Structure 1
């Protein structure tokens, strides 16, 4: 089983990519890598000319579409500009076949300058994901820039509130979206060791 993390930012170092890294960390912490494969797709690394000219035969585009086809679940992260998801994500989604997300679970994640762009997840991105046949689109996670400040080294760090929301989102992705079995609260006890009274 595979989860594909799609980075839809035109920048290599962004707040939305930071949230995607947080999701990857949580997936690796909760599930053995032999059981759940976590792959990444950075749209900015695809050929810009192939994306803009809709060149489906370009090797980078072919590989990216294959990654989407192979994945059981997608986590799509994007910055929000002018109340819409990023242009690089838009051109990539336009290249996907009409049923590319059929039977797939999708967790959308977005970042923006202020809380006012929060509805871009529901009113801009979600309809496109639905039109591509996504089976289940989980509640998205939106973070404003102030919730992902830079640390002393200049690196973006997700704040506590966003950390907690990502915990919930990954839990939903695994257990509701992918029907991943919950870990037992107690270790199993052999029947011969069980004590009982009549």
Structure 2
């Protein structure tokens, strides 16, 4: 696997969302055989650059990292029963199909379990629209579960790792024959 990236959509630096996103990516990485620590794209540092006209080198690097990832954990706090506008602004900068071949895992951190469907109703569809493969249900994590994060994420990673491995392997298999079949003049 080439890369595992955690995309953090919280506008506050040092957030619980970042803590959860990185821990989720690490738990998953250990189960799918990804030995390196995950790359982290924390949008709290990019916020001002996302809303300025014209390109920003730091935003462009983040977009390339996300679009080039093999596995992408996309995490946001739940605001108004959906993900943050900051995450939406970042995802809107990706061209259609930018996540084709990327296995994406949506994750929302929420204060109340009543928002649990938001991960499936709001975050999953935008990732699919960008071309990502989303092979497992999203994770809706309540803030009250953060003190028990290792147990919660361990169980989640155990459940999703087989599907992630299968999807990554399928992507590699479909890319190899295409590369072997190219004819050069």
Asked whether the two chains share a fold, i.e. TM above 0.5, the reply is yes
TM-score, normalised via structure 2 length: 0.79
Greater Cα shift, 88-97 or 21-30: 21-30
Which one has a bigger Cα radius of gyration? 1
Q: What SS is found at the alignment partner of 1:109? A: strand
From the superposition, tell whether residues 82 and 125 of structure 1 become closer, same or farther in structure 2 (CA, over 3 Å).
Answer: same
Query: 1:141, 1:166 within 8 Å by CA — same for their partners in 2?
Result: no
Q: Corresponding residue for 1:79?
A: 77
Deviation, structure 1 residue 13? 2.6
Residue 7 of structure 2 is aligned to residue 17 of structure 1? no
Q: Tell me what 1:152 maps to.
A: none
1:93 aligns with 91
Gaps of 5+ in 2: 171-185
CA distance in 2, matches of 1:97, 1:59: 17
RMSD across aligned positions (CA): 2.3
**Divergent runs of 4+, >4 A:** none
Map Cα deviations across residues 128-151 of structure 1 (whole Å, 9 max, x no partner): 1111111334311111111114xx
Alignment of 1:84-163 (within 5 A): 84-149=82-147, 158=149, 160-163=151-154
Residue number in structure 2 paired with 1:3: 4
Select the structure that is richer in helix: 2
1:168 to 126, 136, 159: 159
Tell me the residue number matched to 1:63.
Answer: 61
Cα deviation, residue 62, structure 1: 1.1
Between the aligned partners of 2:73 and 2:34, the Cα distance in structure 1 is: 18
Paired with 1:76 and 1:131, the residues of 2 have a C-alpha distance of 14
Whole-Å separation in 1 of the counterparts to 2:76 and 2:82: 9
Scaled by the length of structure 1, what TM-score is found?
Answer: 0.75
What SS is found at the alignment partner of 1:179? helix
Secondary structure of the 2:131 match is: coil
Deviations 1:113-172 (A, max 9, x none): 1100011111111111111111334311111111114xxxxxxx5163444223323453
1:178 aligns with 2:161: no
Task: Tell me the distance in 2 between the aligned counterparts of 1:161 and 1:3.
Answer: 20
Secondary structure of the 1:45 match is coil
